[in-house]
A and B are shown apart, each in its own frame.
Chain A
Amino acid sequence: MPLFRNANPYRRRTALIPAGGVFLIGTLIVLAVLMFLLQIFAPGLLARAAAPVWQLGNGIASGFAAGTSVFGNAPELTRERDTLAAQNLALAEDNRTLTAKNADLEALIGAAPPPEHRILAGVLARPPVSPYDTLVVDAGSGKGVVVGALAYGPGGVPLGTVASASDVSAHIALFSTGGRVTEGWVGDTRIPITLTGRGGGAFDATLPRNSGIAVNAVVYVPGPGALPVGTVVRIDSSPSSPRDTIYIAPYVNLYALTWVMVASHP
């Protein structure tokens, strides 16, 4: 009886080469290289192939949310609905007042220029599925999307700019992408600040101490005019530092975005 079970040296396992699965390993490596080359020479093809899976995932997530709402606390949901209905009425009244004021001002100083043409795009993938704080949308250069164009969320809130566009899809780099720097303003006095993205829609910035900015101050970014993007939610100040750090929460919930509007030019 042999001392070693695998006496045949050609069947002996080594530490470097696995006993089996070489074909599988080679296939997977070749697939990885092919995928890399595909993205270089045919960008957007993978996104087009992945679009049905993204849409299925979005549908399952929204269906799950609707299904679990059945287990909600009924009195609490009723209270929340009544509160939201009251807020809606108040906002509708504010909107009517502002529309009337706008009409008066247009009559006084002339009509505003027509709004820029925007392209409606469905969001296929968003954070946290998208790891780089980007949005993948189903409108590309075929629909007129160009690199550098602004993208807007609900209510005309600017979200970011188009970073790349293929024929049928585009990637939107959000202003809140980690480390991305955007110039903007804060407060009624429009104090200039430099916003630094922190991911997930959040920003922070620094201001001189005693600048007069308080929590709930509105933060703006440039676009056509000054566009509000969020509000100050926290201010950190230290006696040893001449500057305060402000933390900004966005108006738009990125994790629930389903549609965006993309400007037709940068």
Chain B
Amino acid sequence: MRTTLAIILALVSPLVFPAALTLVVVLIASVLVPPVGLLAGVLTDALYWTPSVSVPYATIAGLCASVLGYAVHQFIKTRIITG
């Protein structure tokens, strides 16, 4: 249930929320489901990126969110961080 909600929220937020809030939502969702950060980043660039923007910043930010979320996710699972 929590996983499903995190995925849905992370994928809907680029369509509804301001970019800064979307980043926060995606970071939190990435802790629960790490790959959702990359997916949300690719979705954001698929919707909004144009050739006038040289670098797909959303995809890069999504990848960083996934990596960070994966690290926190593993630390929580192995009880290094108590979640």
Are the CB atoms of B16 and A128 closer together than 8 Å? no
Number of interface residues of A (CB under 8 A): 35
Question: When the two chains form their complex, are residues B19 and A131 in contact, meaning their CB atoms are under 8 A apart?
Answer: yes
The residue from B7, B15, B52 contacting A163, defined by CB atoms under 8 A apart: B52
Q: Verify B51–A164 contact, CB threshold 8 A.
A: yes
A63 to B77, CA, bound (A): 43
Q: Is the CB of B46 within 8 A of A129?
A: no
Please state if B35 and A50 are interface contacts (CB–CB under 8 Å).
no
Q: How far is the CA of A131 from the CA of B17 in the complex (A)?
A: 10
Interface size in chain B (residues, C-beta < 8 A): 35
What is the interface of chain A mostly: helix, strand, loop, or mixed?
mixed
Q: Name the A residues within 8 Å of B18 (CB-CB).
A: 128-129
* Distance of A229 Cα from B55 Cα, bound (Å): 27
Query: Which of A24, A39, A132, A177 is in CB contact (< 8 Å) with B46?
Result: A39
Q: Residue of B at shortest CB range from A163?
A: B50
Contacting pair A13 B78 (CB below 8 A) = yes
Inter-subunit contact A46/B47 (CB<8 Å):
yes
Q: Mark B10-32, 1 if CB is under 8 A from A, else 0.
A: 00101111111010000000000
- Residue in A29, A53, A128, A171 whose CB lies within 8 Å of B19: A128
Q: How many A-B residue pairs have CB under 8 A?
A: 95
B44 touches A131 (CB 8 A): yes
* A131:B48 contact, CB within 8 angstroms: yes
Chain A residue contacts of B45, Cβ below 8 A: 39
Q: Which residue of A lies closest to B50 (CB)?
A: A163
**A246 / chain B contacts, CB cutoff of 8 Å:** none
Interface of chain A residues 28 through 76 with chain B (CB within 8 A): 28-29, 31-32, 35-36, 38-39, 46-47, 50, 53-54, 57
Q: State the Cβ distance, A168 to closest chain B Cβ, in Å.
A: 14
Q: Could you say which residues of chain B place their CB within 8 Å of the CB of A232? A: none
Could you tell me if B52 and A180 are in contact, using CB atoms closer than 8 angstroms? Answer: yes
Contact B53 A53 (CB under 8 A): no
Contact present for B57 and A131 (CB under 8 Å): yes
Q: Tell me if B39 counts as interface (CB < 8 A to partner A).
A: yes
| In the complex with contacts A47-B47, A129-B18, A131-B48, A35-B57 CB distance below 8 A | no
Beta-carbon contacts of A1-43 to B below 8 Å, as 1s and 0s?
0000000000001010011010011001101100110110000
Which residues does chain A contribute within 8 Å of B65, judged by CB atoms? Answer: none
Contact residues in A for B57 (Cβ distance below 8 Å): 131-132
* CB–CB A32/B48 < 8 A: no
Chain B residues whose C-beta falls within 8 Å of the C-beta of A171 in the assembled complex: 48, 50
What's the minimum C-beta distance from B5 to chain A, rounded to whole angstroms?
14
Of the candidates B15, B39, B53, the one whose C-beta lies within 8 Å of that of A132 is B53
> Nearest CB to that of A31 among chain B residues?
B39
Known: A13-B77, A57-B15, A125-B47. A35 touches B52 (CB 8 A): no
* A130 engages B48 (CB within 8 Å): yes
Name 9 A/B residue pairs within 8 A (Cβ), A-sorted: A18-B77, A25-B34, A32-B39, A35-B39, A46-B47, A53-B15, A54-B15, A131-B22, A132-B48
Closest 6 CB pairs of A and B: A131-B19, A128-B18, A163-B50, A28-B35, A39-B46, A173-B52
